[in-house]
Amino acid sequence: MVRRALSLKDLGAQLDGQQFWQVHRNAIVNLAHADWVERDALGHMSIHLKQHAETLSVSQRFQARVKQM
């Protein structure tokens, strides 16, 4: 029997929506690990994570919710 990996949509449905937010079609962020949000000169938004150098891009679809952070 072959087990299929969970899609991000299915995984997101299993997580606490108050603690985990989808920010891009390929990313869900645990808010406890979000440090700060930045918007560049072109209006692109990204989330900086605590203790990590990389950032997560926020797609336009999810920017309204991220602005609440």
Considering the domain boundaries, does residue 61 fall inside one? yes
Considering the domain boundaries, does residue 28 fall inside one? yes
Considering the domain boundaries, does residue 3 fall inside one? no
Grade residue 50 by pLDDT with cuts at 50, 70 and 90: very high
Number of domains the chain is built from: 1
Considering the domain boundaries, does residue 55 fall inside one? yes
Q: How far apart are CA 67 and CA 45, in angstroms?
A: 9
Considering the domain boundaries, does residue 1 fall inside one? no
pLDDT of residue 63: 93
pLDDT of residue 17: 92
pLDDT of residue 18: 94
Q: How far apart are CA 60 and CA 67, in angstroms?
A: 11
Grade residue 37 by pLDDT with cuts at 50, 70 and 90: very high
Collect all residues with Cβ–Cβ distance below 8 Å to 62 and sequence separation of at least 6.
21, 22, 23, 24
Grade residue 56 by pLDDT with cuts at 50, 70 and 90: very high
**Structural domain of residue 47, as residue ranges?**
8-66
pTM: 0.82
Phi/psi for 19 (5° steps) reads -105, -30
Q: How far apart are CA 59 and CA 64, in angstroms?
A: 10
